[in-house]
Amino acid sequence: MEFLSTVKRDVSNLPGWRTKERLIVFESDDWGSIRMPSKEAFENLAKSGIDLFSDEGNRFNKYDSLATVQDLASLFGVLESVKDKTDRPAVFTPFALVANPDFRKIQDLNFTEFHYEPFTKTLQRYPGCEKSFDLWKDGISHRLFVPQFHGREHLNVRVWLKALQKGNKKILTAFENNMWGISTAGDPGVGTELQAAFDVLDKEDLLYQSTVISSGLRLFSELFGYKSLCFVPPNGPFNSALESVCYNEGIRYISTPKIHLEPLPGGRKVTRLRWLGKKSSSGITYLTRNCYFEPGQPGKDWVGSCLSDISAAFRWRKPAIISSHRVNYIGAIHLSNRTNGLSQLQRLLKGILRNWPDARFVTSAELGELINRKTDV
């Protein structure tokens, strides 16, 4: 099994853009989204009978929440503790959700309309998060934490509203706790995972999603003071007809699975093959991840596994694009989760520089610019 896994990893690194440089990119999803509001909310949902422990949802529901000042300060401390060959510290590209549902307004309108608020406003209501956006700005100014676009909210809005209007008991209970991220995969009345913001069930979804992208990217610019160049669709599903909307709003790079199941109206899927540096007809360049680091997920040596992923990437002259979700570094609900995640991150960073002292830490946008500036080498 290990041999087959190695072969599969090597084959997946074959196509696409190459470079002689040893480039390290950390891409981290979900920043800005609420996910689990608090321990109290978790306990309320568990007591109601909602399954919070199935498959991958277990650690996200148990640990993932808005990043506090201390979460961010601790992460930045680890990133600053190592320097690459250019004397620059490690850097995260956090893919950010710029808004969350305005639960009060939505309830006041009896679930007939969707309203959202900037995530910076959401932060003001969460203990320990009131000043955390100041840390976001510090991270940007010191090139430790340079956000790109993950969506307006980590939520399929039209599907969610329909389920609320129909009185779906589980989704209503989650709503009462300012939460939506429960699994709905086994619920035939819903049709998709609520977290999959750009999954498509009908043609009207595409029209609505185009407005979500435009409004979300404009809010991103207002909050951060620059346009996002990169986009990672939440949970993966994304219809290519929306790429032109992204391009017109300034997106130049989309992170996508190498084998992408594109959702089509009517619930159908079509397989698209993507590779690093491939360009779409709309002018978008695809970025594809090839390394994984999820230290909050038990049962695996994530440091050793990620170093092996990086070695394979470099063997085939590819940048190491590491996927590592926010949940690994959050201690707002369980402090031990953050302690574990950051300890393993520090070990990984030291291992990278020990094995490859000539490695260079770059952001996703910087990688995209390098790809578009150079031919394969």
Torsion of CA 146, 147, 148, 149, to 10 degrees: 180
In this predicted model, what pLDDT tens digit does every residue of 248-282 receive, in sequence order? 999 999 999 999 999 999 889 999 999 999 999 99
Q: Residue 8 domain-assigned?
A: no
Q: How far is CA 32 from CA 148, 150, 367, 376, in A?
A: 11, 9, 23, 35
Neighbours of 129 (CB within 10 A): 23
State the pTM of this model.
0.95
**Nearest Cα residue to 198 out of 258, 249, 262:** 262
CB 340 within 8 A of CB 3: no
Residue 9 lies in a domain: no
Give the CATH number, domain containing residue 205: 3.20.20.370
326-364 in b/e form (b: 16+ CB < 10 A) is bbbbbbbbbeebbebbbebbbbbbeebbeebeebbbbbb
Whether 15 is in a domain gets the answer no
pLDDT per 10-residue tile (average), the chain, 377 residues? 66 89 98 97 94 74 97 98 97 98 98 98 97 98 98 98 96 97 87 95 96 98 98 97 98 96 93 96 97 96 98 98 98 97 98 98 98 69
245 phi, psi to nearest 5 deg:
-65, -45
Sequence-distant (6+) residues with CB within 8 A of 146 are 91, 92, 93, 94, 139, 140, 363, 365
What is the distance between the alpha carbons of residues 98 and 153, in angstroms, rounded to a whole number?
6
Residue 254 lies in domain: 21-373
- The answer to the question of residue 58 being in a domain is yes
Tell me the per-residue pLDDT of 139-148, one tens digit each, with 9 for 90 and over.
Answer: 999 999 999 9
Strands 253-255 and 259-263, sheet pairing: unpaired
Q: Is residue 318 in a domain?
A: yes
Cβ–Cβ < 8 Å for 179, 45: yes
13 in a structural domain:
no
pLDDT of 55 reads 53
* Residue in the block written with tokens 């996910």: 35
What is the C-alpha to C-alpha distance for residues 375 and 262, in angstroms, rounded to an integer? 28
The answer to whether residue 14 is domain-embedded is: no
Supply φ then ψ for residue 46, to 5 degrees: -65, -40
Domain count, the chain: 1
- Is residue 82 in some structural domain? yes
Predicted confidence at residue 377, as pLDDT, reads 44
Q: What is the chain's mean pLDDT, rounded?
A: 95
Which tokens is 288 given?
């594809």
